[in-house]
């Protein structure tokens, strides 16, 4: 029997969530978030600098607990640190702004980390999948380089390849287009669009995509649902047409700059 819309489980459900600052949990950056993400959705969350985008995404990824409220990922209460529930947490991938790479490791070694740590693979055993990821992200020419020897454009792709290593069902991206030139920005938008529609790399399986942004304009016709972080609030805006028709001042700043 096929699932009806009423029986499909959300991938992410937040109820009354308060988000603290990663550097100081006494500071509330976003309060009373009520948000549901269904499988296959493509969300873009806009916000000006200081609005709490990174902290919000770190909470969504399970790296820190909410100050208040409840958060479930695929039906499991987050954050997940217990070994017996880790298999659920590994269905979520996170791409940090700037990649957050280990500079003493090569590009290939950075990408291999999730495979070696979570699947207990040797370097030789991980190599075929790492090679696939290098080719998928056009990083093969820099496989043996360290992150410091490549530009920011490519460093961010290494972070993406690492996040994809375990083939997550949900991909979170912290401001992925920031600092990219036009060619690399186009690559990211096209690639994320393919992931959200079903990429050949994972045999057509659709990935749920959630990205933050300080400029919504590049996401026109890319994202399907949009939201805004402003004044400690999470505001779901809806489709791009609804974004354009809103009269919120900060939304206008994010689409007209």
User: Does the pLDDT value for residue 8 go beyond 50?
Assistant: yes
In percent, the amount of the chain with pLDDT more than 90 equals: 75
Tens digits of residue pLDDT in 22-71? 888 889 999 999 999 999 999 999 998 889 999 999 999 998 999 999 99
- Mean of the pLDDT values across residues 213-241? 89
- Mean of the pLDDT values across residues 193-207? 93
pLDDT of residue 49: 87
- Mean of the pLDDT values across residues 189-203? 94
pLDDT of residue 81: 81
The verdict on domain 12-91+168-256 having CATH code 3.40.50.300 is yes
Rounded to 5°, the CA angle 209-43-215 comes to: 110
Where do the domains of the chain lie? 12-91+168-256, 102-167
**Mean pLDDT rounded to a whole number for the chain:** 91
C-alpha neighbours within 13 Å on the C-beta side of residue 93: 24
User: Does the pLDDT value for residue 249 go beyond 70?
Assistant: no
- Mean of the pLDDT values across residues 204-210? 95
More confident residue, 246 or 148: 148
User: Does the pLDDT value for residue 182 go beyond 70?
Assistant: yes
pLDDT of residue 5: 53
User: Does the pLDDT value for residue 3 go beyond 60?
Assistant: no
User: Does the pLDDT value for residue 1 go beyond 50?
Assistant: no
Tens digits of residue pLDDT in 88-128? 889 999 999 877 899 999 999 999 999 999 999 999 999 99
């Amino acid at each position: 029997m096929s699932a009806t819309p009423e029986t499909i489980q959300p991938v992410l459900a937040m109820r009354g969530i308060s988000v603290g600052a990663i550097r100081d949990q006494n500071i509330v950056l976003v309060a009373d978030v009520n948000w549901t993400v269904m499988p296959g959705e493509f969300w873009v969350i806009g916000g000006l600098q200081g609005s709490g985008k990174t902290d919000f995404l770190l909470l969504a990824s399970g790296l820190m607990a909410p100050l208040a409220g409840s958060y479930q990922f695929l039906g499991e209460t987050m954050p997940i640190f217990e070994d017996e529930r880790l298999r659920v947490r590994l269905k979520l991938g996170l791409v940090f702004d700037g990649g957050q790479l280990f500079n003493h490791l090569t590009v290939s070694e950075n990408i291999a980390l999730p495979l070696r740590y979570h699947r207990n693979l040797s370097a030789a055993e991980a190599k075929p999948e790492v090679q696939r990821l290098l080719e998928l992200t056009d990083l093969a020419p820099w496989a043996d380089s360290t992150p410091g020897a490549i530009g920011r454009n490519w460093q961010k792709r290494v972070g993406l390849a690492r996040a994809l290593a375990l083939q997550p069902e949900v991909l979170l991206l912290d401001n992925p287009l920031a600092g990219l030139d036009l060619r690399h920005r186009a690559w990211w938008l096209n690639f994320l669009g393919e992931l959200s529609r079903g990429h050949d790399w994972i045999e057509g399986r659709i990935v749920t995509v959630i990205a933050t942004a300080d400029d919504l304009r590049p996401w026109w016709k890319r994202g399907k649902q949009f939201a805004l972080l402003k004044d400690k609030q999470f505001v779901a805006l809806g489709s791009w047409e609804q974004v354009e028709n809103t009269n919120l001042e900060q939304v206008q700043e994010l689409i007209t700059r």
